[in-house]
Each structure stands twice: as C-alpha cells, then as structure tokens.
Chain A
Amino acid sequence: MQTELFLLIALLSAVVANPPSAHTTQFGLIKGAVVDATGSPIAKAKVFDEPMEAVRTGKDHFTLSDENGRFLLNDVPVGKTMVIATKIEDGYPDARFAVFSGNEILPVVDVKPDQVTSGVTVKLLVKGGTVAGRVTDARTKSAVPDARITLSRLDHPTWSIETNVEKDGSFRLVIPAMPMHFSIKAPGFGEWNYEQSVFSTNHSPMNLSPGSKLEIPIYLEPMS
C-alpha cells in the first residue's frame, strides 16, 4: 500500500510538473534509488531520464529522490534511456554533461510502453570541487556580465562546456576532481586562462580535490 501510494504521488506530481506533449510517443516509468559512491542513499537528488533513441527538448524533465533515495520517473520515452542523478548543491558535478561524467558508467534502461522498470540504482558522480569567483574589468573594476567560461577535459578535449556568468559577473561551478582546462572570454577583453594565472602552480591545469573550494577573483584586461 505504501509503495502504491508512493508511486501514485510521484506519478501525479511529475505529471503536474511537466506533462509530455507528443501524444504519438509511447512512455514508460523508471523506479529506483539514488546512492553515493559508498552506496548510501541520497535524498533530494534530481533524477533525469536522458533518452538515447528519442529526444527530449523543452523544459527539464526530472524528479526528486525521497528521503530514502527512492525515485519514480514517469513519462520516459520508450527505448534505451540513460538515467542520471545530480545534486550540485552538495558538491556532486552535473552528470548530464560529458565533460564532467564522460568516463563514468551510468545506467541505461530499456523502457517499455506503460511499464515500470524497477530496481535501477543510480550513482552520483564522485564529489567534485567548487570553483567560484567574479569576473571584473581590470581597469574599471566593474563586473563583466557577458563573460563566457569554458571548461574542457585534458583526456578528452572535445568534451567541453561553455557557459555564462551571472549578471554581477559572479560564477560558481562544481567540477570533477580531475585536470581541467579553464578559461574565460568576453567581447573586448583578452582571454583569461587558469594555467597562465597566478592561481596555477607551474602552469598546471585546474585540478580540484573532492570537497574543496577555490575562490578566484578574475580581472580581464581590456584590449584597447
């Protein structure tokens, strides 16, 4: 009865959150649990279905794990789907992006129409480190809100992420504990590169340890 209620509530809440619109697509459900690297259940993790034989565009589709780490994902397009869990606020890198998760083996589920695939265990990535800071104009000390951050892997340079900073030039990223190229560009400014900065030892790439926090104020030099 408890399981039925859990399923029903999760199903209803997920439907309310983001109903599908492609009526011709068939859907199934995935039930499982989110754990960390030690196998301990993780509550309030976001669980995403990332279809491999279909495409989900538009708004994010996810559910949250309950206090025992359990989740139920509804409206999953049939076929093979990768199930990914993230909890950035607790220091786990976002596993939806290859630049952070490319070497990890993540569960792939073959979803059948109107069927629940249960017993899926989704591991969060190993905890990463947090890099945070604020991008400012070295001359005026004002924020550079159109700065773009690029992170890429040393072992797989084509896997990268390019993203924006906040309106006030600040940024906060949870990245895996592995060597990464880190650079920042903005129109009208010279490129800033971590490996060429005073924060790098011997021009080595950024390599944060799990749970660590690196705060770097970044000053971009105007080109004229």
Chain B
Amino acid sequence: MRFLSPAPFRPLCVFFALLLLVLLPAQLAAAQSSPPVSKPPTPPPPPAATDQQQFLSYWTTETGWRTELQLRNNQVGQNLTVTPVFRTPDGTETPLLPILIQPQEVKAVDVATAIGNSAPQLIGTYGSVSLRYHTAGQAALYAVSMVMGVGHSIAFHIDATGEDDTETTGSREGIWWLPNGTANDYLVLANHGQSPLQLSLSFFDSGGKASIQNLTLPPRGMNRLSVRQLVAAAGLAGSYGGIKVSATTNAGSLNTLHVLFDQTAGFSAVMKMFYYDPRTQMKERDYAKTGQWTLRAPMLALSSPDPALAFPVGTILQPQLFVRNTTAKPINASLSFNWRSDTTSGKSPGPALQLNPYETRRIDVAALQDGKTLPRNAQWTSVILATSGLPDEVMAVAASYDQTLKYGAQTPFSDQLSHHWAGGQWQYDPYHNSIITAGNGGTKATQAAFTIFYNQGTQKYQLEQTLQPGQQMWMDLGKLIRESTPDKTGKTLPRDLASGSYEFRDLTNTGIGTLFEGKVIYDKTYGHVIYGCATCCGYNAAELYFNPIFVLLPGPPVDDGVWGWSVCDQQYEDVSTDFWDNWGSVNTSIVTFDSYGAHTGQSIGSTTTDTFGYLESTAHYPICPAKEFSPGGGANVGDPAQLLVIGDTTTNPTNCPNTKLRILAYQIQDANGNDVTTDVQTKEQFASKSSNTCNTTITTSETCGGTPGGIIHDSLTVGCNSVDNGCGYTYTKQQWVWCNGATNTVIGTVGDLVVHDNAISVGGSYTSIQGNVIKP
C-alpha cells in the first residue's frame, strides 16, 4: 500500500493553485464566447410510457416456408416485453405469449414453434403481425420478419413499420422485375388500421404506360397478389416497370411488400418499396445539406465478388440498378460510385439520367465496370443517386446476381443519414458470416463508432474510425473473431462467438448525423446472401436542462442546454450543440445569454428563454426526418432566500441496519419561491452541540461546499453505535447558510435536531415535514 501524506501533494497543489490563478482571468474573459465546459445536470424524469405498436407486413407457415421474427430491445438498461399478435388476411387477430428481451439483445422467435404451442390453427396460413409493447417511443423495438424458403437459397428480410393516423393521402412506390420466365412474386398489401382501406393499384411499363385498378382491404387485413399475373392481365410489356399503391384516406395505415422468388433457380429478391407522403419537405430529408435529395445503396456487389461472400470460384455477377421516376414530371438524376477492391478504393462519377414521367430505367453497372468508370477488379461499390426531385419522387432498387440467379446479393437504397443506427442480428459460424459497413454521407469528416453487443447484450466490443466524406468502414465479423482483432480498449471477441447485435454512432454530429449503413449475411447452407437494415434512432422530444433556469444576481453565468429524448435508447441525450446560436429571451433586461446558452442575470425578475434546432425525429416507417424542435422555459434571476422541504425519508442504513437514518431534501428557493437550480455554496451551523452518547465521532457540513442543483440532502444518523437503548445527540438551531462571500446569509432555520438510534426529530417533528417552507 502506498503511503500518501499531505507533504508530497503540497508542491502539486501549489502548482495547481498557481495554474488556476493564471488561467482564471482568461476563463472569465472568455465566458461569454466559449462553448460550455461544465457537465450537463441530471436529466429530467423520462416521458410517460404509452402503448406502442409496430407491424410486420408478412409472415407465413405455409408448406415450404419458414418465418422467424427477430426482435431487438434498443433500450439502455431496461427490459422490453413484446406481445406478438398474429393477423390473418381477413383481419382476425391471435395474440401469442409475451416475449421478454434484455437490453441490446436480439431474440429470434420461430413462428411455427410459437404458433404450434398456443395457436395451432395458424399453421399453414399467412398474414401480418402486430407487435405491442409499452415504452416512451416506438423505436425502443427493432423488429424484422425473416421469411425463408425451406431447402432453398431463398430468404427475405422484412422491416417493421408503424402506423400514422395523420397521413391521409399518400402512396407506396415500387418497381416490378421479372428476371426470368419462371420467377414468382408476391405483392403484399397490408392494412394495419382499424378501418377499411380503399386503394388504387397502378402498374407501369418501363416507359410509363399505366394500368390502374381499385381494391379494398378489410380492417387489419391484407391481400397477397402476383405482379406477374397482374402485369400480364394489364397487357404491359417488358421485364420491369413501376408500381404505385395509393390511398386518399388512411394512407398511414398502408404497408406494402414486394418479393421475388424462384425455387428452381434458388433465387430471391426484395424489391424495396418507398413511402411517398406529399407533406414531406426537402429540408426534412436533406441530412447532409447538399440541396439535392440523395439516395445511397451502400454495398453493391460488383462483377467479381468479394471472396468473403463465398460464392463458387468463377462466379460472375451482373450488378444492375432500376431507377424510377414516380411523378408526372421529368426529373434529372445523377449517379456516382465509391468503389472498393481488395487492395484499394476510389470514387467515380456515373451517368447522368433524364427520367421521363413514370419512367423506369435499368442501369447496367456491369457494363460500367470497363476500367474507365469502375475498375474491373472492384468488388464493392456504394451507389449515390442524386436527384432534382423532392424526397421519394425518384426511387431505386439495386440487384447483383449471376446469370443463373442462384448467387447474388442486394443492397437497398435509402436517403437516411443518421447519428445512431441500431442494428439487428449478425451471425458467424461455419455456415454464416456477416459483413457490415458504415459510411460518411456528409460533407465533413466524422468520427464513427461501431459497437458489437453479445452475450444477450451484456458485453460489447467497440471500434472507432474517422471517416472522410464518402469513406466507409467495413467490418467482416468472421475476420474480427478469427483474427482476435482487438477493439479500442484492447478487448477481443470470444473465438466461439456466433451472433449478437450491433450499432453505429456518429460521435461528431449528435442531433443530425451523417452516417449511412448496410449489412449482408452470407448463408452457406444453400448458398445465398441476404441484406439487413439497421433502424435510425431519432428524438421525439427536446427539453431544456433547466425549466425554469435560475441565475444568481450577482453571480456567474449559468449554462443551459438541451436534452433530446432518444426513442431507441429510451433515455435523454445531450444535444445542446444543435441549438447553439439560436437562443432568445422575452426580456433581456432580466437575463441575457451567449451563443452557447450561458445565461447571465441582469436584474431581479422572471422571464422566459428559448432556443431552436434541428434533430432527427421519428416517423411511422423506418426513417428519421430532420425536424425543428423549439424548447423553452422560464428564467428567474434572484438570490437564495428560503428552503422548501422536497423530501423526507426514514430508513435503516446498510452499514448500521439496526439504527435509523433520516434524509431531508431541501430545495433552495428565492424570496418568490422560485427554485434555485444552480450549484450554490452552502454550509450548516448550530447554536449548540451536545455530546454523542452513542460514542461515535460526528462529521458535519459546517464548511462551505457546493450544492448541485440547489438541493441539499441532509443525512441524520448516529452511526454504528454499540450503546443502543436510545443513545444519540442533540444539535440545536440548525441553520443553512448561503456562502456568498464576506457576508454569509442564513437562508433557512430548521430548528433543533434530536438524533437517536431509534428516532430522529427535525425542527421538533418526528414525522415528515415535506412541503414545509423554511424561512431564515
């Protein structure tokens, strides 16, 4: 054990004191123009939890199919209980047993097994699922339905969505593709709401020629259609074109899914459909502030696939894009690529596109891999599609398959850039591997953090990397495990680790991030690759640190800031930097502020202050549009003048459980009863102090010290006495004092403290004095 006497510390303390003297004037001078250095206060209580619901548009237990639900609890430190309610096409509901999920854990539920246990009548059928839970925000749950063809290399990843009863008019936009003469397809139209849903279903050929029909979905019901049959019936020619499913009432209840499969060829593809909401504004979806609506597909496998995908040697893929104009007006678009080979990476501009109304265009990326636009040996590329249109007026699908369609991979287009992506399940074992990527879609460098969660979410592995604009970080999970690659703390992943969940965070940009992401899982069982998406994590509330804020006069500036309620983490996060430069006040003769929210008292009184800023928010489907938040609150300027008793607790201390402990909580207030929420210097004092018949030495708070938040917690006890039988002590006329310089001010006279091992009186009361106002 090292001996630490005061003497060795003295030179250091003197040095530190001198350093403070040197630095203090400079700090004071800079107080109005520098970002705050103080730590944020304790966040407010969480918002009230409410009933939440997400929907998976499709499950099936029909012969030849298997469905697995993957449910991830995004919350930090709280379990999540989810009740799946299975719906059949006619809207009949069957609830199953609730599922308990630990924080950051992904729980896989085999639908046939779950149904077989409690609802065997659903075996051999299909439908949609409602997932019900109780949290302060929908995104506490990340849910996916994995639909797999038994004995085939067929699998679909289907993301959950919510319902928006404010969206009356809107559409879901898609692309149909018939890659060969035998591929089947399902177009699933699901009504998640409680009212019938009238729909208009339109098919377009590649040139924009349309065929339109109407149909109605029952409440909670769904319809499963064949695009191949509908296109043929409409007389549309070609192998690809557009789909529009629109509603003029209750559009927020509509969810769609379009999948292709060919059991003979061993082929499957998800033709991602886009949500079009006419209310959407450009500023909500221009995360990188480029002025152009931009879509990205992060992981397009190029002609010579990465060996990590484990396709047979010699497999040649045919990467291609389908780009569709969903509107009646011409739209310009441009393509660019950020490619990567096993040895190098680079950027290439692609072709410019002039899309006619309702046109669907096929782009042969394989043909662009000619050594001019894209290198022949490039294995991956991210595809960037910038448009002159508004959000979701152009949509796109990427696919990369070999000639037989058996081997291939997809990567979905999305415009979303986020500060936080909560990812689902990854796998690594002799039959599976996962490759995950994140890129910087912004215009400035950013620090990206990648975290792997494992052992039911209790363990984590963390990597960080600075990403330049357009740059991506790539994680081959199998390689990280096999090669025992250390994380930023030196930790390695267990060699027998097989699965877990993951997340990305943008450490540079808190409110609106610039990261995009992608994941593929290779399954060697039948030889296919499926993609998975993480969910972006927005905020659904913004609150000031203090409401009201209290500023001493005279006194130092008080830093205010903003908490954002993260709907994934289900906790407050500090988003103050996104609200800098926007502070305002109703009355600047009472309080002023700087760009960073530091408030300075000017005269005694009360007013209000506020600020505004943009944060990623939430939507009923997996996007996080940028939304303006305008938190505001009261601002009081004054001096400490009295105490309000806000807590009075009596219990037994752990260290001496046979004695009593009484804890008083006092809120310091000004003369008008406004809470003093800043850290003020206080101490206690007494008129007299008796001896302690419990024979324990007493340490008090009779020297000035800080009072964080303006709340004094005063603990009264006798210690672990060996005397018993009511021993104790009496301290008379306890007063709390504001240490405001040369003249200290009494702000509350509590009265006598009679503290015994079996009972404690405060100001003459053995019972609670909570609610009392204690004057000087």
Q: Is B343 an interface residue (CB 8 A)?
A: no
Cβ–Cβ contact A54 & B696, under 8 A:
yes
- Give the distance in Å from the alpha carbon of A118 to the alpha carbon of B701 in the complex: 26
Among residues of B, the one whose C-beta sits closest to the C-beta of A79 is B697
**Given A22-B698, A116-B1, CB of A163 within 8 Å of CB of B714:** no
Among residues of A, the one whose C-beta sits closest to the C-beta of B731 is A57
**Given A53-B720, A54-B719, A164-B770, CB of A18 within 8 Å of CB of B77:** no
Q: Is B688 an interface residue (CB 8 A)?
A: no
A19-70 contacts to B (CB < 8 Å): 19-22, 24-25, 29, 38, 40, 50-60
Among residues of A, the one whose C-beta sits closest to the C-beta of B8 is A4
Most chain B CB inside 10 Å of its own CB: which residue of A51, A55, A99, A101: A55
Q: Interface of chain A, helix or strand or loop or mixed?
A: mixed
Cβ–Cβ contact B649 & A54, under 8 A:
no
Among residues of A, the one whose C-beta sits closest to the C-beta of B652 is A98
Cβ–Cβ contact A17 & B657, under 8 A:
no
**Given A52-B720, A59-B712, CB of A97 within 8 Å of CB of B701:** no
How many B residues have CB within 8 A of the partner chain?
68
Residues from chain B with a CB closer than 8 A to the CB of A178 are: none
- Give the distance in Å from the alpha carbon of A25 to the alpha carbon of B292 in the complex: 69
Residues from chain A with a CB closer than 8 A to the CB of B16 are: 8, 12
**Closest CB of chain B to A71's CB: distance in Å?**
16
- Give the distance in Å from the alpha carbon of A16 to the alpha carbon of B681 in the complex: 10
Residues from chain B with a CB closer than 8 A to the CB of A89 are: 42
Residues from chain B with a CB closer than 8 A to the CB of A24 are: 697
Q: Is B706 an interface residue (CB 8 A)?
A: yes
**Closest CB of chain B to A79's CB: distance in Å?**
8
**Given A55-B697, A116-B4, A212-B79, CB of A146 within 8 Å of CB of B771:** yes
Cβ–Cβ contact B654 & A118, under 8 A:
no
Most chain A CB inside 10 Å of its own CB: which residue of B3, B79, B103: B79
Cβ–Cβ contact B713 & A60, under 8 A:
yes
Cβ–Cβ contact B714 & A58, under 8 A:
yes
- Give the distance in Å from the alpha carbon of A159 to the alpha carbon of B561 in the complex: 41
Residues from chain B with a CB closer than 8 A to the CB of A146 are: 768, 770-771
Residues from chain A with a CB closer than 8 A to the CB of B646 are: 167
Among residues of B, the one whose C-beta sits closest to the C-beta of A4 is B12
**Closest CB of chain A to B133's CB: distance in Å?**
11
Cβ–Cβ contact A163 & B707, under 8 A:
no
**Closest CB of chain B to A38's CB: distance in Å?**
6
- Give the distance in Å from the alpha carbon of A58 to the alpha carbon of B49 in the complex: 36
Contact with A along B673-715 (1 / 0, CB 8 A): 0000000001110000000101011111111111110001111
Among residues of A, the one whose C-beta sits closest to the C-beta of B703 is A21
B2-51 contacts to A (CB < 8 Å): 2-6, 9, 12-13, 16, 42, 45, 49
Q: Is A203 an interface residue (CB 8 A)?
A: no
**Given A148-B768, A172-B45, A211-B103, CB of A164 within 8 Å of CB of B648:** yes
Query: Interface size for chain A: under 10, 10 to 19, 20 to 34, or 35 or more residues?
Result: 35 or more
- Give the distance in Å from the alpha carbon of A81 to the alpha carbon of B696 in the complex: 13
Residues from chain B with a CB closer than 8 A to the CB of A172 are: 45
Cβ–Cβ contact B702 & A21, under 8 A:
yes
- Give the distance in Å from the alpha carbon of A166 to the alpha carbon of B705 in the complex: 26
Cβ–Cβ contact A82 & B654, under 8 A:
yes
Residues from chain B with a CB closer than 8 A to the CB of A17 are: 705-706, 708
Cβ–Cβ contact A25 & B655, under 8 A:
no
Interchain CB contact (< 8 A) of A159 among B2, B49, B103, B652: B652
**Closest CB of chain A to B719's CB: distance in Å?**
4
- Give the distance in Å from the alpha carbon of A24 to the alpha carbon of B703 in the complex: 14
**Given A59-B713, A98-B657, A211-B78, CB of A54 within 8 Å of CB of B652:** no
Cβ–Cβ contact B654 & A55, under 8 A:
no
Cβ–Cβ contact A20 & B654, under 8 A:
no
- Give the distance in Å from the alpha carbon of A79 to the alpha carbon of B180 in the complex: 83
Q: Is B248 an interface residue (CB 8 A)?
A: no
16 CB < 8 A contacts A-B: A21-B702, A22-B699, A50-B653, A52-B655, A54-B696, A55-B697, A57-B716, A118-B2, A127-B77, A130-B78, A158-B652, A162-B649, A163-B651, A211-B77, A213-B49, A215-B49
Q: Which residues of A pack against B, CB within 8 Å?
A: 4, 8, 11-12, 16-22, 24-25, 29, 38, 40, 50-60, 77, 81-82, 84, 89-91, 95-102, 104, 106, 114-118, 127, 130, 145-146, 148, 158-164, 167, 170, 172, 209-213, 215
* 16 other A-B residue contacts (CB within 8 Å) besides A52-B656, A96-B653: A16-B705, A21-B703, A51-B699, A51-B719, A52-B719, A55-B698, A56-B715, A77-B699, A91-B78, A98-B651, A104-B654, A160-B651, A161-B651, A163-B647, A211-B78, A213-B79
